[in-house]
Amino acid sequence: MKIVEIQTVRCEEFAEFIAVLLKTETGLTGLGETCFGPESVEAYVHESVAPRLLGQDPLTIERHAKELPAFYVTHGGTGVSTRAHSAVDIALWDLFGKVCNQPLYQLLGGRVRDSARIYNTCGGYHYGKAEARYRGTSRPVSADAPGELEARGPYEDLYAFLHHADQLALDLLDQGITGMKIWPFDDVARANGGQYFSAQELKTCLEPFEKIRAAAGDRIDIMVELHGLWEAAPAGKICQALADFTPCWVEDAIKLDSLDALSRLRDATDVTLTFGETLAGVHAYKRLFDTGAVDVVMFDFGWGGGVSESRRVAALAEAYGLPIAPHDCVGPVALATGAHFSVATKNVLIQETVRAYYTDWYNEIVTGLPSIGEGQISPSPAPGIGTDLRPEFLSRPDTHVRISR
């Protein structure tokens, strides 16, 4: 079997999404995905990946995982080349499953659990689409507010956690979802350069936590996202303030530019710290684990090396006694991949989901999604990842398909 065609697919409405399709002469196609900078990823795939992958056997996945990144001038981190390689790797595993007529979780060794627990990242419908200029802001989403984004449905959760966090927590519990991720500190971090906050700013940022605990008590876990916007000293103070609300974890409290700063943060707080979605490659994770400062490991399939690298990171994390929490705030293929990985990997703790995504625009892109209900996710039993791009998505006037043969 040989790869005879590589396609990239991006859409103007879904401004951060790009799919990679690997087609063989047998008619089978593998689907992969990554997020951010889709035009740059598109150019890299056709300029640098296609000449090295066309005509090759798609089932030698480990060889491709090692050789595609092995330029004389290497590319590191989660930049364009790594994200392109990640999408290709996901597509190779999807193709492998279709060749074997087995779901991805079976290729990973079979289920260790029937389903995995989820939490809801409280982004709204527009969080990550063409209106990405609003990403991470507190701007209201209302059809009645001039100049604001139009509400698409009941799950405008970014606005909700900033203004009605108590109601949001109760609504999630009614759906069986017992974990929620929020990020009320971001606007203050941007305004102050991540260097400081006033007493009043801290009080305002803590209001959602007070509302959640008053309404839901300890029935719901609160994950706190800081997006790496803070320096170590104020991040430590934020963690100290959050301790009273017993957060499940504080995620990306600082950028991972300095392991010394990470150690200082660890010394300043006892709250659970989560890092990893901005890393790529098992060696970067080993350096992180060696600090002893991380409690939960985040991994993104479309940024960090695909399925192949996720297996290595999970094995290393298990050796360090650390749980994994697969990331998804990016796209439907990553969510489908995470569902398979979460039921087939022993040390997966919980799977991220965004209900505004999987009940809405994810369905405009792909033919099917993992089963989600009562706070649990279960992957499709179909071969490979279990989903494909919708024909109507491919035929949209704002969809751009580029082909290398």
What is the model's pLDDT at position 329?
A: 86
pLDDT value for 77? 80
Phi, psi of 237 (to 5 degrees): -70, -35
Give residue 153's pLDDT. Answer: 86
DSSP letter at 149? B
Q: How far apart are CA 405 and CA 402, in angstroms?
A: 10
The parts of the chain modelled with pLDDT lower than 70 are: 71-76, 128-151
**What is the residue type of 375?**
G
Beta bridge partners of 352: 119
| CA gap 236, 246 in Å, rounded | 15
Residue ranges and CATH numbers for the domains of the chain are: 3-101+389-404 (3.30.390.10), 106-378 (3.20.20.120)
CA distance 380 to 115: 11
CA angle at 184 for the pair 183 and 187, rounded to the nearest 5°: 105
The torsion of the CA quartet 253, 256, 257, 260, rounded to 10 degrees, works out to 80
Q: Residue 303: which of 40, 79, 129 has the closest Cα?
A: 79
Give the pLDDT of residue 80.
92
- pTM score of the predicted model: 0.94
d(CA 31, CA 16): 17
